Every structure is written in C-alpha cells, then in structure tokens.
Amino acid sequence: MKSRRVVFAGLFLFIAVAVGFAQQTDPSLLTLERIFESGEFGPRGIGGFRWLKSGDGYARLEPSPTTKGSMDLVSYDIATNKRAVIIAAEKLIPAGETKPLAINGYQWSGDDSKLLVYTNSKKVWRLNTRGDYWVLDMASGKLSKIGGDAAPSTLMFAKFSPDGSMVGYVRENDLYVQTIATGRITRLTTNGSPTMVNGTSDWVNEEEFSLRDCWRWSPDGKSIAFWQFDASGIKDFLLLDNTADLYPTLTKIPYPKTGTTNAAVRVGVIGASGGNITWMKTPGDPRNNYIPMMDWSDNSNDIILQHLNRLQNVDQLMVANAKTGEVRTILTEKDDTWVEILTDSMTWLDGGKRFLWTSERDGWQHVYSVSRDGKDIKLITPGSFDVVNIQSVDEKNGWLYYRASPDNATQRYLYRTRLDGSGKAERITPENQPGTHNYSISTNSRWAFHNYSAFGIPPKFEVVDLANKSVLREVETNAALQAKLDSLKKTKNEFFKVDVGGGLKLDGWMIKPPDFDPSKKYPVLVYVYGEPAAQTVTDNWGGSNYLWFSMLAQQGYIVASFDNRGTPAPRGREWRKSIYRKNGVINSGDQANAVKGMIATMPFVDASRIGIWGWSGGGSSTLNALFRYPELYKMGMAVAPEADFRFYDTIYTERYMGLPQDNGADYDACSPLKHVAGLRGDLLIVHGTGDDNVHYQATEHLIDALVAAKKPFQMMAYPNRTHGISEGEDTTLHLFSLLTKYLHEHL
C-alpha cells in the first residue's frame, strides 16, 4: 500500500510539473502568476476625470512627459479634441521639495481660480482615508498647505466654500475652516474624540450608508451643516495584531453588533466663523433612528434630511429650519420589510417648487416628481421595470436621464424620459451594444463620458453626443488588452436562465472549457454571493475573477453563477424583498434548486462533482449550501464568511433580518452556525484575522461548532489581513493558489 501511494504521488507530481511547464510556455493558457502577479491583464482607465464647468470640455490626469512618475492635469475640448495642459506637474512642487505632489484627488473652486489637491492619502478603514490638502492659486502659482500644524495625513473631506475664499475640513473628528488669503484657522467643534465624531461618521454608518463626507457648506457659504455621531455607548471590537511587534497590539473599533447600542446621530448647523450650534430637532431616540441623507435645500435656510427608524421600514423626508432646528415631515415611505433609501443629494426643479424622489411604492423602483410640501406626487417613469439610478437632469430641455434594463436584469442601459412624465421612455444606449453601460453626463447635458463592457470584454471609454446618440470619439479602447485576451485559448461563455420551480427562473452564466464536449461529464464550480448587497450575474468585465474562472475552465471545469431572489437585480420589489428575515434560507434554497435544474437539463454536468465558493456574504452562502444541501455539493470554499448574523453590524443585519431580540428563531433558521451537523462534503474556510468588517471571531465560533459536531474541515488564517485579504507581499496570489489547489484536490 505504501509503495503504491509513492507511485501515485510521483505520477501526480509529474503531471503537475508537466501542466505547469505547459502553462508557462504556452501563451494561450492562463496561469495564476499571469492573472494575479504580472499585471498584463489590467485594463487602462481614465484617471481624474472631471467635466469642466461649461460642459463643453473635460479634465483628466495624464503622465507628465517632463516629470517622471508624476501627473499633469490636462483638458480636452469636446468639439475640437484640442488638448491643453491646465497644470503641469512641476507647478505642484512645494517650496523646499523636489517632487510634485501625488494627486489622490482634486477639486476646483466655484470660479475656477483655485485648485484643491488631495495627497498623501492613508487608509483609515474600508474606503475612508485621511491625507493632506494643498491649494494652488491658478493666477499666481502660489501653492499653500491647508491645516496649519496638523500632523501629516490627518485631514479629511476638505471643500472650498461657494465663493472659494475658505476651505473647510475635518481633523481628528472635529470641523475646521481656514481662510485661504490669511491662513487663519477657525475650529468649529471642540469635542471630537474616538467616540464623538463630527463631520465624518462612525464605522457602521460609513460601511452601510456610505456616509463618509458628513458636512455641507450652505449655498451662501455662511454656515455649515454636519452630522454628529456619539459612539460612546457602543462596545469596542478588538483587533489583535500578532505580527507588528514582539508583543501583540490592539486596535479598538466601536462596532455595534446587531441588537446592541448604536451611535446617537444628530444634525447641527454652525456659522462658518464659529459660534453656537443649532441642532435639528429630529424626533425619537437618536440611538434608535438613522439620518442616512442630509443636505441644504435649494436655499440657505432649510435643511432636508431623511429620518429612518431602526427597523428601516419607515423613512420620513423632513425639512428642518437651519436657524431654529424645527422640523416637519413632508413625505413618508413605509414597507413591510425595509425601505430603499435615497442617499444622493436632492435634485430641485422649477425654482425649488418640486424635487425628484425614488420609491418602490408601486412595486418597482421609479422616479417621482414631488411638490415642495410633499402633497403632489407624480410618477414620471411608469412601467413594469426598475430605474437603477438617476444619471442626470436636463431641466432646460425637460429630460430625465436614468439607467435601467427592462428586459434583461444582467445588463444596464441609459434611457431618458420627459420630466413631466409625458411620452415614452427613449433608449440612448445603442441597441447593438449589449452589456453594462455607465455614463458621466456633462453639466449642460449635451455630452456624456461613456464606458461600457461585457462579459469577458474589458471596458471601453468614449465621448458621446446624447442628442444624436452618436460616438464623438474614442478615448480608451483597451485594444491591447482585448488582443491579449483574443490570443488566449477561448472558453465558451454563455448566459442562460434556469427553472427552479414554481414558475421562477434565475439568471445565470456559465464558462465552459475551450474543447467542451457535450457527451462528456464535467465538474462544476458555482460562484455565489446571494445576499441583498450585490449581484454576481452581470454582463460586464469581471476582472481577475473572470480570468481565474477562465483559467479553471481551461483546466477542465465548468464555472457557473446564479442570482437568487433577494439579490439587488432590477426585477421588482417582490423579487428583492422576498428574502426578508430569510437571508440564508431563500438564497441557499434558490441556489440549490438552480444546481438541480442544471443537473436535470444539462447532461454534461457531473452531479457527483459540484463545488461552491464565495467571499463575505458569498462565504456565508457557501456554508449554508454545504450544511443544508449536502447531497448536492461535494466541496466548498468559504472566504471571510459571516457564520452567524448575530456577529454582524446593526444596520445591514437588522435591515434584512429585524432585531434578534424580536425574532431569534429567524436568526437561528438563517445561521450557518446552527446547521453544521449537515456537513458531509469537503470544506475550506479562509479568513483574515484583522478583518474589521466580518470579524474573524465568527469563524472561531464556526470552528468550535464544527469540532463539536466531529466534522472535518480545513482552515487558512491570514494574519492581520482585512476583509479583502490583500495586504502583504503576494497575499492575493497565495490565496488564489490555495483555492486552486484545494479545488483540484477535492473536485
């Protein structure tokens, strides 16, 4: 027996080396190193794109021909394509320095006389960053730093005042204003601390409501409105780093787990020169309500905000008096599950007499025109389809531009309709360009910067004429990348629908091997997310994930993915809300039925070799699939999974599950942790120990449960890596090498 194992091991090693050699020498085959290390498949983008105020030109960042490694800010005229250098890199060299500032972001003053440059950016958590800001005076060329004696990389969300004379910013959770001409700094709030947050947000509001830049200049520049979060009642989550020093270090993050205490949130208004704060008198307990949107109305007297209850099923649109703090509700949205909220700034029409509003009140996500008092509500995008998002409003010519895809939930296109709701919607995206389309529309709504891609096709960027629906010019085609992709051994990619019973069909895609033979049997790897935060079945460029799937297909696998009910596909309210308090039940059932549908209708699927993998919510879906449907799945790989929703944050979890104190049985029914006894297949769990989002803690509870149930599994912990498991040299390559090896050994 021993010698036989040695022969097999030697044979496996020979095959592995031979395959590896073939992949290294055959340019038509993908390898892990080519995908995750070489950079050869990275698409080119357009850095620093901004429309100029006129709308007839745009700015972008381009490599400087005179200052190596730096960027020039250049402009292009739409009509002539004439290029001009607005700011050469050498203009951004501070006194006493030899290198220009690295441009991490920039903005113009209202009169275009000054440029605010964001540089030296450092990560706080997730998408939040801190850095330094400099102001360049365009006429004099003077470059001055904002922040006075602030330590490097400590400023956030700096913005010019409307007249360009001042810059406001957040420093260490307090608000400041600096007068540019004199350098005088006024500190507006003085109680900022790790738990008292002014002008930015705490962890959970940043993560789940995308609240980062949490302050606004009034239109007249005399006042500032801002959010304040008091996180003093929130327990700290401790992240342990064993690799930074001889002894472990601790990072504390106030993190409200579902059912626990939230930060108290309120909105205040303060003069730009300081003084007393007027607090908006929003009703109820500030720890059990949210303010996911706030801005000035079309004047400097009124604040408009959304006030959302903790269960997130009642959303009140309120107008607050900036001087007195008195509030009144003008519009209320209610739902039996949760309300989809509008987090963008309000669009005002007809001189402030009306505004645009999005709602699912008729069963579809639509745009409404609403009178200022909220009493007259007019539907302007009627039909049995969802508006994905508003792209632009051309009030002068009476058009609303929005993205939608009425006939195919995997794609996105640009449409326009009359602001008064008359006539029929008009598709702007050409009919001969299936895929996913994104637009940045000029300030005069005449032009658009358009980028589109499709499954396996990298993005293309072009300037289009909206009126004539024509391409004015191509800006970046990624032709070199497309040629490289075309030179690969081509896989067979297809979108399809699978019947899962009860008259329900799910969207799916499938990548088949290049030499696919329908008379053979193939192992299938299912890629899953499955939760309300994202779709996986989208007709767009999939980046490194797509390339990895294609590599696996070249090696003999079929890779497939399905969007179950509850994912944010534009298929109507009922589709999306059916997962309420069943997040873990509905999605795993739909995914399992999709696999059964494949097996029943596709004879080339090897029913004995079905695997599943996913990340984050997809990791949770992977666990639920293996534990609840062990007869279907031979193996699974769960990366950064949430093993039980009780360990996750308040806003996300309670939106879809309610409070655990009210319906603990639903939490148990949806929890992978409560269903480990069902595991029969092979399981790999991967997690970063420094994950501040989906905590490694839950995976340790999962390990305990699996051990207690006498269930074998494999585990990989990446020290101090966060949710993306990307920090450190070659981490991404190592992770996907690990996943690939486990897949080969177990499927």
CA distance 423 to 419: 10
Count of positions (residues) in the chain: 747
**Model confidence at 13: pLDDT above 60:** no
Distance CA(550)–CA(712), nearest Å, equals 30
Tell me the pLDDT of the chain averaged across its residues: 94
Q: Where are the domains of the chain?
A: 347-467, 490-746
Token pair in block for residue 180: 């540019």
C-alpha–C-alpha distance, residues 456 and 485, integer Å: 8
**DSSP reduced 3-state for 614:** strand
Q: Quick check: 677 and 648 in contact, CB under 8 A?
A: no
Q: What is the pLDDT of residue 482?
A: 97
Structure tokens at 618: 């997809």
Confidence band of 129 (pLDDT split at 50, 70, 90)? confident
Q: What percent of the chain has pLDDT over 90?
A: 94
User: Are the C-beta atoms of residues 91 and 80 closer than 8 Å to each other?
Assistant: no
Query: SS3 string of 407-464?
Result: CCCCCEEEEEEECCCCCCCEECCCCCCCCEEEEEECCCCCEEEEEEEECCEEEEEEEE
The rounded distance, in Å, linking the Cα atoms of 398 and 198 is 39
155: amino acid identity, one letter: L
- Residue 371's H or E segment, with its range, is strand 366-371
Is a pLDDT exceeding 90 seen at residue 9?
Answer: no
pLDDT at 2 over 90: no
CB atoms within 10 A of CB 98: 6
Q: What 3 state SS string does 506-518 have?
A: EEEEEEECCCCCC
Same topology, domains 347-467 and 490-746? Answer is: no
In sequence order, what are the beta bridge partners of 305?
294, 318
Residue 33 has phi, psi (to 5 degrees) of -65, -40
pLDDT, position 345: 78
Partners of residue 303 on adjacent β-strands: 296, 320
- Quote the DSSP letter at residue 629: -
Q: What's this model's pTM, rounded to 2 decimal places?
A: 0.94
Count H helices, E strands: the chain? 12, 43
Half-sphere exposure of 52 (CA within 13 A, CB side): 16
| pLDDT of the residue at 126 | 67
pLDDT band at 23 (very low <50, low <70, confident <90, very high): very low
- Residue 22: CB partners within 8 Å, gap ≥ 6? 29
Burial of 679 (0-12, 13-18, 19+ CB in 10 A): buried
Residue 21, pLDDT above cutoff 80: no
589-609, pLDDT tens digit by residue? Answer: 999 999 999 999 999 999 999
Number of neighbouring beta carbons within 10 Å of residue 536: 22
Mean pLDDT of 682-689: 98
CA distance 413 to 339: 25
> Is the separation of the CB atoms in 614 and 528 below 8 Å?
yes
Confidence check: pLDDT of 124 > 90? no
Phi, psi of 484 (to 5 degrees): -65, -40
Confidence of residue 467 (pLDDT cuts 50, 70, 90): confident
User: In whole angstroms, what is the distance from residue 694 CA to residue 703 CA?
Assistant: 15
Residue 202 has pLDDT above 60, yes or no: yes
Judged by average pLDDT, the poorest of 120-134, 229-243, 696-710 is: 120-134
Topology given in CATH for the domain delimited by 490-746: Rossmann fold (3.40.50)
Which position has the higher pLDDT, 398 or 126?
Answer: 398
Note whether 621 and 536 are within 8 A (CB). no
**């899953």: which residue's tokens?**
528
**Position 127 confidence tier, pLDDT thresholds 50, 70, 90:** low
Q: Which of 20-24, 180-184, 436-440 is the least confident region?
A: 20-24
Across the strands, what pairs with 328? 319
CB 37 within 8 Å of CB 730: yes
Q: Other CB atoms closer than 10 Å to residue 722's CB: what's the count?
A: 20
Lowest mean pLDDT among 146-155, 209-218, 337-346: 337-346
Residue 562: closest CA among 600, 601, 533, 588: 588
pLDDT at residue 343 in the model: 72
**22 band by pLDDT with thresholds 50, 70 and 90:** very low
CA atoms of 333 and 643, how far apart (whole Å)? 33
Helices (H), 602-724: 617-628, 650-657, 664-670, 696-708
CATH code of 347-467, in short, is 2.120.10.30
Tokens matching residue 98? 């030899």
| pLDDT score, position 574 | 98
